């Protein structure tokens, strides 16, 4: 079942993807390929040692490490990183880490036009999107511009071996959510739909194996492949209700990014169930399940993923506010906004009960 091939527009994004265990050894060659010599290396504080390790591929004194990337790309950190780039006369940025390190690298690229070489260590997918979210004066502002799309992505599977199982699960479900929403996007096209379905299937197959054997290179390889496919979908087509609601929940109640995605995706799929039947069939097929929403819920149970907003720290009193904010500037979504249904959905997700398809 391929789905209907209807009229479509497909904007492919430029990408150089290098994938494989041990591929971090190619970083210096990729920097040279871009005609650069003095990289600024960015990581989080916890991942600074990975930055030091990459720096050894370069002449002593030619690299600068900035190890202070933080969640949601705070502006004060970006300012300090920009100063570091300027005083080091950096000619490119190397980011190692998840969405936080990559967000900082994008923020630097936006202001300096420096090329980026990115080595992802989670499944969030930011490395293949032209999207940047930044926080300034307590407000998160997101924009889409090709100026932040990294020039080179090196997926070294070995970097993901240290990703704790709980974060691997949440991050993997975060990636699945990109694929799910791509399948019912208003601007879906046959290429991203193919990538989305294969990406969801790769993650649904590999995540249970990662839970069993976190050191399995095979499982990690398949998960990162799935994350790349789903991230590419996120970068290419528009996202719907799920991404809007996660944005609201993360921004208003400071909930953890990947875990919020993990809790919400089965519920949003149930909300959209009757408005996107072709996408639902493809999601179910990728999950090898009878229905898309039960398949996602069963996968979350199997992975022991977070399933309630309460456990993530959201106050029950915030549910109505979350619905109000979700209704504002509603993203394109197969099912129209319905405040009562959204309220019901969020109450279910808050309690952590299985999702129900809604008329």
Interface with ligand NAD by CB under 6 A: which residues? 44, 46-47, 71-72, 97-101, 103, 121-122, 124-126, 129, 131-133, 159-160, 162-163, 167, 171, 234, 257-258
Q: C-beta of 125: minimal distance to ligand NAD in Å? A: 5
| Complex with ligand NAD: residue 23 or 72, whichever CB lies closer | 72
Residue nearest to ligand NAD (CB): 99
| Complex with ligand NAD: residue 99 or 115, whichever CB lies closer | 99
Q: C-beta of 306: minimal distance to ligand NAD in Å? A: 13
Q: C-beta of 99: minimal distance to ligand NAD in Å? A: 2
Cβ–Cβ < 8 Å for 266, 293 = yes
Q: C-beta of 71: minimal distance to ligand NAD in Å? A: 5
Q: C-beta of 23: minimal distance to ligand NAD in Å? A: 15
Cβ–Cβ < 8 Å for 208, 303 = yes
Q: Which of 262, 189, 265 is nearest to 8 (CA)?
A: 189
CA distance to 136, 335, 345, 346, per residue, from 342 (Å): 29, 11, 5, 6
Query: Two tokens at 52?
Result: 């030091």
| Complex with ligand NAD: residue 95 or 284, whichever CB lies closer | 95
| Complex with ligand NAD: residue 219 or 358, whichever CB lies closer | 219
Q: C-beta of 129: minimal distance to ligand NAD in Å? A: 3
| Complex with ligand NAD: residue 98 or 115, whichever CB lies closer | 98
Gap between the Cα atoms of 264 and 282, Å rounded: 19
What phi and psi values does residue 355 have, to the nearest 5 degrees?
-70, 155
Query: Two tokens at 13?
Result: 């994004």
- CA Rg value for the chain: 20
Gap between the Cα atoms of 185 and 183, Å rounded: 6
Q: Which residues pair with 120 in a beta bridge?
A: 97
| Complex with ligand NAD: residue 21 or 167, whichever CB lies closer | 167
């Amino acid at each position: 079942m391929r789905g209907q091939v209807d009229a479509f527009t497909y904007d492919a994004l430029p990408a150089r993807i290098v994938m494989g265990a041990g591929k971090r050894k190619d970083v210096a060659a990729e920097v040279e390929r871009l005609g650069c010599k003095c990289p600024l290396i960015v990581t989080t504080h916890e991942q600074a040692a990975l930055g030091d390790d990459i720096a050894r591929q370069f002449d002593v004194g030619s690299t600068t490490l900035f190890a202070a990337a933080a969640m949601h790309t705070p502006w004060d950190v970006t300012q300090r990183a920009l100063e570091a780039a300027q005083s080091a006369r950096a000619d490119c940025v190397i980011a190692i880490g998840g969405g936080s390190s990559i967000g900082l690298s994008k923020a630097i690229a936006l202001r300096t036009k420096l090329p980026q070489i990115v080595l992802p260590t989670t499944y969030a997918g930011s490395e293949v999107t032209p999207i940047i979210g930044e926080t300034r004066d307590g407000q998160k502002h997101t924009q889409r511009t090709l100026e932040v799309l990294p020039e080179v992505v090196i997926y070294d599977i070995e970097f993901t071996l240290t990703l704790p199982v709980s974060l691997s699960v949440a991050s993997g479900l975060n990636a699945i959510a990109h694929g799910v929403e791509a399948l019912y996007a208003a601007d879906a096209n046959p290429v991203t739909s193919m990538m989305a379905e294969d990406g969801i299937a790769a993650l649904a197959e590999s995540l249970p194996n990662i839970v069993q054997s976190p050191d399995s290179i095979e499982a990690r390889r398949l998960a990162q492949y799935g994350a790349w496919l789903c991230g590419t979908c996120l970068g290419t087509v528009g996202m719907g209700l799920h991404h809007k609601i996660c944005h609201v929940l993360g921004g208003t109640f400071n909930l953890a990014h990947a875990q919020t995605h993990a809790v919400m995706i089965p519920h949003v799929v149930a909300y959209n169930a009757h408005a996107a039947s072709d996408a639902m069939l493809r999601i179910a097929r990728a999950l090898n399940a009878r229905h898309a929403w039960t398949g996602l819920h069963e996968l979350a149970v199997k992975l022991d993923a977070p399933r309630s907003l309460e456990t993530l720290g959201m106050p029950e009193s915030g549910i109505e506010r979350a619905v109000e904010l979700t209704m504002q500037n509603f993203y394109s979504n197969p099912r129209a906004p319905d405040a009562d249904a959204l309220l019901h959905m969020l109450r279910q997700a808050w309690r952590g009960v299985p999702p129900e398809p809604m008329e």
